[in-house]
């Protein structure tokens, strides 16, 4: 019996009913995540009903050295949940219980398959919510958020997933169930939770997640501001930040992105705008009022030609509609598109946008820009038509060149979508061998056999047995001359 | 006695580590007595590595060497109306020391702790290999976040030589609302669930003090909210005890954590000399005797918390468990084994004898 068959047998003992899938036709439903051009049919899919079962399946994988891949809602955009052909896909979609909401502690404990927005829904009656808000929050899971260290528009002020996940029960790739962090802050020892958040399922699987809840703000004001150009909008962003204001969100869309959104959802953004900003201020009413006056003035001084403000939920939703539908909207103006995710220091924005425009011009490939302007996280949407010979390759090349720009400006190849399979090859452009080797020391500690989501994040796996650069025998200080050198 | 070596660069540190000695990295030595005692062959004094390498006000980031005193960094970024939102809980401490011990003070409620502010780090491994993680941008999910692993690792995984932090704007105004109370817990609950958005809620024995910072109009309104809830007097200077540990050298100093709802019981058990970030469930206490530690540990554990002996005379450390029970200790040992298989970095100083 093969390793996978052994795991399947064990899984059938553990998980009753429909939770173990080995039928080829049904396995196909899981062949990709949100990055649909990578497809691999897994050898087995297991959908455990509780943490015990999940741990049992991982233990079986460990015993037979069978690779496993965790999957939440499968909305990841870097192929993180892409299955392994000889491996097991462990799906958390039945682990959907909000275990506890503890407003007095400002905490909630949830199972990993719980949908992001459902945490906020459960906390709302107490006046609380879960702050990180990826645009996919109606469908993505907390486990996936933890694994990707997901961000969202409001992370500018409130921080990313790593700031809000304060504990997790976690199954290591060796099948051990460990508790990392918890209800109280600063648990003694290494911050393993800090290493696990953002590790893209390569260190194990979270079976329970403890999150921080944030008080719902007293007041929220959302501004929609029209500018002639992205440069003007960028200057307004810089002015706001320089004034010491940290809005809850500052999002920018350029002309092409606005046009696409307009066509898709008729969001009625300012006519003739070369760029719009969506700025949200939230907090105590008096604070918001003061900030609003300053933001309104700074936008005006930087060339805003139209400003609209929404103070109630319905108006706010209208403003956000255009921004939130942007990815889907470009699908209507272009048969194919790549969603890029890169980060630059915010002050490099004008320069980088000009460079992207130049690349677009010279290649004839259109780029629509949507981004989290406050923290320099770009989402250029590279538009192309696969049916036109050469366009796919040209788009791919342009998309890669954008990452080069990010790296050249001291930025990152991913701000929130993760490395996954898609960007593993780019990692050596950002980190040298020693950096990658050092990260993989952590991998070796958690997963010496390399069975947790293999092939993701790192371009070349490290063999865990070897300890490179190990020196034998200590020389006395005097011999090495160090005491004199310094 | 260890040999003191004073490197001037990351390359120098690498050369020292390649020498194969047991090493304890140190800055100004203000927290050198924290953790279990270690007698290394080399005391690696990073004070000569004290440069502020780069400050980009427009991007709100600063890149510093680990030996730079926190106060010196504050002075540089302060000129641009910014601050590194870390507290100098012990006067004179360096960036490296704050990172390695994960020291935090009142600012944590508003801005988080070192782990939340550190966006890039350069370290030298035990084998002398120099590695970086993170970068110079606030948002970055490329690869593992090694910085978080280094924060609070007490010099047992690698030597931190450089760090990049995100900065915060200096507030226009800060006000402290301070009140005497026999039930700090009740007042804490009132304040944290209110719409005042407190920047810090600190306790000192029977005194509670709430910091409100921000723009003048907003601050005035929020201070009024807090006063409605708890009364007290308003000041534009912090109470004298603000952000300092309650113990004196030679005493037994504890860090006690708990779920916020357990604060009342924890404060009662901790005795009169207790101080700290009540609003987030982290307080510091002075124990009279070693036995007090066990008792307090039981109370904190009932509320999901822990007690760590931060500082104490060596005799005391021989008889109490300084770090207390640590979940996932096996996994931590395996991490240590990978980074420092020969146990040359601060051996024995950390949890479980790491
Ligand atoms: C329309 C759209 C908009 C999006 N907007 C945003 C955005 O604004 N911000 C943002 O950050 N992302 C965004 N994303 C990306 C995606 O939604 C996030 O990465 C999300 O966190 C993935 O969650 P998921 O449950 O779908 O995870 P999956 O795609 O199923 O998995 C993602 C990764 O997590 C791992 N994983 C899943 N569950 C666990 C677990 N329990 N333990 C350990 N590892 C696990 C998987 O192995 C995989 O590596 C968007 C995606 C779409 C389709």
Tokens read off for A404: 């080069």
| Residue A333 confidence (pLDDT) | 87
Whether A438 maps to a domain, the answer reads: yes
- Suggest the residue from B26, B53, B119, B143 to mutate for an interface test with chain A (most A CBs closer than 10 A): B143
Q: Hey, are the CB atoms on A215 and B42 less than 8 Å from each other?
A: no
Domain boundary among A215, A246, A275: A215
**B335 interface with A at CB cutoff 8 Å:** yes
Residues A296 and A342 grouped into a single domain: no
Backbone angles phi, psi at A292, to 5 degrees: -60, -45
Establish whether residue A375 lines the binding site of ligand 1, counting it when its CB lies within 6 angstroms of any ligand atom. no
Beta bridge partners, B252, equal B287
Residues A145 and A196 grouped into a single domain: yes
Distance from CA of A190 to the nearest CA of B (A): 6
The whole domain housing A469 covers 432-480
Instruction: Report the CATH number at residue A52.
Output: 3.30.43.10
End-to-end CA distance of chain B: give it in Å, rounded: 22
Distance from CA of A218 to the nearest CA of B (A): 6
Q: Hey, are the CB atoms on A414 and B169 less than 8 Å from each other?
A: no
Whether A486 maps to a domain, the answer reads: no
Question: Which residues, at least 6 apart from A52, have a Cβ–Cβ distance to it below 8 Å?
Answer: A14
Q: What is the mean pLDDT of chain A?
A: 93
Residues A120 and A163 grouped into a single domain: yes
**Touching A: B residues 123-162, CB under 8 Å:** 123, 125, 127-133, 135-149, 151-153, 157-158
Q: Is the pLDDT of residue A484 over 80?
A: no
Instruction: Show the domains of chain B with their CATH numbers.
Output: 3-169 (3.30.465.10), 173-235 (3.30.70.1150), 252-317 (3.30.70.2740)
**Touching B: A residues 4-23, CB under 8 Å:** none
Residues of chain B with pLDDT under 50: none
Whether A400 maps to a domain, the answer reads: yes
Q: Hey, are the CB atoms on B334 and A418 less than 8 Å from each other?
A: no
Tokens read off for B159: 């030597």
Among B117, B168, B145, CA closest to A414: B145
Residues A232 and A261 grouped into a single domain: yes
pLDDT in tens, A240-281: 999 999 999 999 999 999 999 999 889 899 999 999 999 999
Distance B300 CA to ligand 1 centre (A): 35
A 10 A CB-CB count for B312 gives 23
Residues A175 and A107 grouped into a single domain: yes
What order do you get walking across the sheet with A88-91 strand by strand? A20-21, A44-46, A88-91, A68-71
Instruction: Report the CATH number at residue A361.
Output: 3.30.70.2740
Residues A359 and A310 grouped into a single domain: no
Distance from CA of A199 to the nearest CA of B (A): 6
Residue B331 near residue A445 (C-beta atoms within 8 A): yes
Kindly provide the ipTM of the predicted complex, given to two decimals. 0.97
Question: Which residues, at least 6 apart from A410, have a Cβ–Cβ distance to it below 8 Å?
Answer: A344, A345, A348, B135, B136, B137
Residue to mutate, A38, A46, A55, A76, ligand 1, most ligand atoms under 8 Å from C-beta: A76
- Give the pLDDT band (50/70/90) at residue A466: low
Separation between Cα atoms, residue A250 and residue A271, nearest integer Å? 20
Whether A485 maps to a domain, the answer reads: no
Total domains present in chain A: 5
Instruction: Report the CATH number at residue A159.
Output: 3.30.465.10
Q: Is the pLDDT of residue A486 over 60?
A: no
pLDDT in tens, A77-88: 999 999 999 999
Q: Is the pLDDT of residue A472 over 80?
A: no
Residues A211 and A223 grouped into a single domain: no
Q: Is residue B143 helix, strand or coil?
A: coil
Domain boundary among A170, A199, A215: A215
Domain boundary among A91, A123, A145: A91
Residues A311 and A389 grouped into a single domain: no
Tokens read off for B250: 């030679």
Whole-structure pTM value:
0.96
pLDDT in tens, A402-424: 999 999 999 999 999 999 999 99
Residues A320 and A354 grouped into a single domain: no
What is the largest distance, in Å, between two alpha-carbon atoms of chain A? 76
Separation between Cα atoms, residue B26 and residue A459, nearest integer Å? 35
Among A295, A169, A185, CA closest to A233: A295
| Residue A476 confidence (pLDDT) | 39
Whether A305 maps to a domain, the answer reads: yes
Among B259, B269, B331, CA closest to B294: B269
Tokens read off for B146: 């090694």
Residues A108 and A182 grouped into a single domain: yes
Residues A205 and A102 grouped into a single domain: yes
By Cβ distance, the residue of B142, B304, B306 closest to A413 is B142
- Give the pLDDT band (50/70/90) at residue A17: confident
Residues A281 and A382 grouped into a single domain: no
């Amino acid at each position: 019996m093969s390793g996978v068959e052994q795991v399947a047998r064990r899984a059938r003992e553990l998980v009753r009913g429909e939770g173990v899938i080995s039928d080829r036709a049904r396995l196909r439903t899981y062949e990709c995540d949100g990055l649909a051009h990578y497809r691999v049919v897994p050898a087995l899919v297991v959908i455990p009903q509780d943490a015990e079962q999940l741990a049992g399946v991982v233990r079986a994988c460990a015993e037979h050295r069978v690779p496993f891949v965790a999957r939440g809602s499968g909305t990841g955009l870097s192929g993180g949940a892409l299955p392994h052909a000889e491996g097991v896909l462990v799906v958390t979609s039945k682990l959907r219980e909000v275990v506890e909401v503890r407003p007095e502690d400002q905490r909630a404990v949830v199972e990993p398959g719980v949908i992001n927005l459902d945490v906020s829904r459960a906390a709302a009656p107490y006046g609380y919510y879960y702050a990180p808000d990826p645009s996919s929050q109606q469908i993505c899971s907390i486990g996936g958020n933890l694994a990707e260290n997901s961000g969202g528009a409001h992370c500018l002020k409130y921080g990313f997933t790593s700031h809000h996940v304060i504990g997790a029960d976690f199954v290591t790739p060796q099948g051990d169930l460990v508790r990392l962090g918890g209800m109280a802050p600063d648990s003694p020892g290494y911050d393993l939770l800090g290493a696990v958040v953002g590790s893209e399922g390569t260190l194990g699987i979270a079976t329970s997640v403890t999150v921080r809840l944030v008080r719902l703000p007293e007041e929220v004001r959302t501004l929609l501001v029209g500018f002639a150009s992205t440069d003007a909008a960028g200057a307004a962003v810089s002015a706001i930040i320089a004034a010491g204001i940290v809005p809850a969100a500052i999002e920018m869309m350029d002309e092409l992105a606005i046009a696409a959104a307009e066509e898709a959802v008729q969001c009625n953004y300012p006519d003739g705008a070369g760029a719009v900003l969506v700025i949200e201020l939230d907090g105590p009413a008096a604070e918001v009022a003061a900030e609003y006056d300053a933001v309104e003035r700074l936008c005006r001084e930087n060339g805003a030609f139209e400003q609209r403000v929404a103070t109630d939920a319905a108006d706010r939703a209208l403003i956000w509609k255009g921004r939130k539908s942007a990815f889907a909207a470009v699908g209507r103006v272009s048969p194919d598109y790549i969603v890029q995710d890169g980060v630059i220091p915010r002050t490099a924005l004008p320069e980088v946008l000009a460079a992207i425009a130049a690349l677009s011009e010279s290649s004839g490939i259109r780029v629509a820009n949507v981004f989290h302007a406050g923290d320099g996280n770009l989402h250029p949407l590279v538009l192309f038509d696969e049916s036109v010979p050469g366009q796919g390759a040209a788009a791919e090349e342009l998309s890669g060149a954008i990452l080069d720009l990010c790296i050249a400006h001291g930025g990152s190849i991913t701000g929130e979508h993760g490395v996954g399979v898609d960007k593993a090859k780019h990692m050596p452009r950002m980190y040298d061998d020693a950096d990658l080797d050092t990260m993989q020391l952590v991998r070796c500690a958690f997963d010496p056999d390399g069975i947790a989501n293999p092939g993701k994040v790192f371009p070349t796996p490290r063999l865990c047995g070897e300890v490179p650069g190990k020196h034998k025998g200590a020389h006395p200080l005097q011999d090495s001359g160090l005491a004199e050198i310094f | 006695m260890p040999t003191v070596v004073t490197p001037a660069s990351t390359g120098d540190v690498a050369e020292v580590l390649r020498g194969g000695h047991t090493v304890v990295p140190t800055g100004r030595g203000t927290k050198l007595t924290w953790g279990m005692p270690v007698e290394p062959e080399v005391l690696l004094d990073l004070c000569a590595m004290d440069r502020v390498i780069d400050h980009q006000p427009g991007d709100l980031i600063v890149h510093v060497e680990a030996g730079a005193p926190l106060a010196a960094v504050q002075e540089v970024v302060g000129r641009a109306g910014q601050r590194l939102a870390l507290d100098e809980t012990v006067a004179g401490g360096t960036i490296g020391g704050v990172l390695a011990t994960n020291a935090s003070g009142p600012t944590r409620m508003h801005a988080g702790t070192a782990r939340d502010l550190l966006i890039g780090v350069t370290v030298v491994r035990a084998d002398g290999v120099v590695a970086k993680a993170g970068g110079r941008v606030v948002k970055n999910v490329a690869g593992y976040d090694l910085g978080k692993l280094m924060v609070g690792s007490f010099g047992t995984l690698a030597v931190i030589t450089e760090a990049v932090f995100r900065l915060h704007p200096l507030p226009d105004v800060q006000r402290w609302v301070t009140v005497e109370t026999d039930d700090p817990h009740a007042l804490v609950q009132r304040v944290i669930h209110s719409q005042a958005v407190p920047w810090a809620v600190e306790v000192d024995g029977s005194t509670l003090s709430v910091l409100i910072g921000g723009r003048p109009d907003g601050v005035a309104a929020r201070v009024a909210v807090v006063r409605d809830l708890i009364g007290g007097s308003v000041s534009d200077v912090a109470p004298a005890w603000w952000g300092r540990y309650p113990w004196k050298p030679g005493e037994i100093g504890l860090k006690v954590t708990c779920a916020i709802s357990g604060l009342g019981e924890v404060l009662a058990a901790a005795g009169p000399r207790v101080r700290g970030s009540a609003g987030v469930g982290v307080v510091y206490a002075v124990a009279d005797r070693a036995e007090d530690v066990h008792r307090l540990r039981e109370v904190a554990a009932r509320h999901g918390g822990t007690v760590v002996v931060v500082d104490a005379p060596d005799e005391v450390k021989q008889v109490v468990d300084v770090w207390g029970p640590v979940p996932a200790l096996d996994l931590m040992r395996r991490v240590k084994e990978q980074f420092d298989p020969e146990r040359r970095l601060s051996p024995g100083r950390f949890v479980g004898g790491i």
